[in-house]
Amino acid sequence: MASFWTSLHRYSPLQNGESSNGAASTDTSLSKPSIGQILMSKRVRYTATALAALGLFALAFRNYDSLPSLETLRAGAGAGVAPSNPKSDCPVAQTPAATDDSHINWSRFAYTQYVTNQAYLCNSLMIFETLYRLGSKADRVMMYPEKMMDPAATEATTDEGKMLIKARDTYKVKLVPVAVQRRSGGDSTWAESFTKLLAFNQTQYDRVLNVDSDATILQTMDELFLLPPCPVAMPRAYWLFPKDKILSSQLMLVQPSATEFDRVIKKMEKSGSNDYDMEIVNQLYIDQAMILPHRPYDLLTGEFRGDNHENYLGTDREEWDPVAIFNEAKFLHFSDWPVPKPWIQMSESVRKEKQPKCVVKGGQEDCSARDLWNGFYSDFTQRRSQVCNTRNKSRR
């Protein structure tokens, strides 16, 4: 499996004429041209055109920094959304280029996760293991049910406690016990998803990046912390675009504050029985959020099973290349209905029925989408058994 992923990452994808009577006159009053003749003169018209061109060039040069670059235009197309939100005071999301970041105080930023039960605790632990292994510079914060364990405990007898200690001591995660935000009624799958919104209350940080734990982080996303200020930044749910222009709460870049948290709490209190975290953030920020490009920050595993990729690519002129898309993606979300989440056993019959089909390219069969899709689930299962193992290591 390791060689499989390595080989994929080595893949290189990818991107009215002037009149004269011919005689000189000694009478200057007769030879003096009229205003109309002056304006119709070729010489005057050529001169005016040249001056206009110079003026436009000077204006463009003066505003050079505000002109869109080719990369910006491509990013706008790839995002599949308008480059800015006319109702938002937030600037357009343009991730900073790679620079020397040695002067940045990374302790001001954090990746956050919320945990409500043992299954999601394991998912969260896997997210933090990946961030630790990839060398992310920002802090790592886990919000977990306060009843699971005292954050200062050094030993634990439960699997939950052992995983929390592993998160803290091995992956340098800061443990934050919280009261799980639970609501009755509605879909039980999302009944505790409001806990995610506690990210708005982590005011010890200037900015936090909350990512759903039913996902795989493929590359660090530290650059998002350096975006221009904005209360919240999110990608759009590209799979619903353009019919529904809603925000995806799978990844939220938040500037925690008492003001915003109060707004969130009040909206939660007034929410309907079918309103969950995604509905709350859309009701509050649909016209105010900074829009992050879903490419490369929000890719669904189900995209590899689809036939039409225009929504993700943002254009009908780019050919779908699953390996290239995988190599550029940073956050992969397991969303494959009716395929179960990766920690739930998938039968071999379901896998064979739902896996992506092979296609013919250049006269040859191409199964790269199928191989990748199966690899996502196999890799998740393998890492889960290693990272979340709470048993004592056996002697070699």
Q: Write out pLDDT tens, residues 313-330.
A: 999 999 999 999 999 999
Cis omega (within 30 of 0) for bond into 322? no
Distance CA 304, CA 167 (A): 32
pLDDT at 110: 98
Q: Write out pLDDT tens, residues 40-76.
A: 555 545 555 555 555 544 544 444 333 333 343 334 3
Q: Give the DSSP letter string of 170-201.
A: HS-PEEEEE-----SSS-GGGTTGGGGGGGGG
Cis omega (within 30 of 0) for bond into 242? yes
pLDDT at 88: 66
CB burial readout 252-285, b (16+ within 10 A) else e: bbbbbeeebbebbbebbeebeeebbbbbbbbebb
Pick the CATH number of 105-292 from 3.90.1170.50, 3.90.550.10, 3.40.50.970, 2.60.40.1180: 3.90.550.10
Non-local CB neighbours of 328 within 8 Å, separated by 6+ positions = 13, 14, 295, 296
Place of tokens 């799978």: 250
CA 336 to chain centre: 19
Non-local CB neighbours of 131 within 8 Å, separated by 6+ positions = 111, 140, 171, 217, 220
pLDDT at 373: 98
Q: With 50 as the cut, is the pLDDT of residue 368 above it?
A: yes
Q: Write out pLDDT tens, residues 120-159.
A: 999 999 999 999 999 999 999 998 988 999 999 999 999 9
Distance CA 239, CA 309 (A): 9
List, in sequence order, every residue forming a beta bridge with 210; answer none if it has no partner: 112, 252
Compare 316 and 194 and report the one with higher pLDDT: 316
Determine the 3-state secondary structure of 141 from DSSP. Answer: strand
Query: What is the location of CATH 3.90.550.10 in the chain?
Result: 105-292
Distance CA 76, CA 236 (A): 13
Q: Write out pLDDT tens, residues 66-121.
A: 333 334 333 433 444 334 455 667 877 777 665 667 789 999 999 999 888 899 99
List, in sequence order, every residue forming a beta bridge with 207; answer none if it has no partner: 109
Of 200, 204, 203, 206, nearest in space to 249 by CA: 200
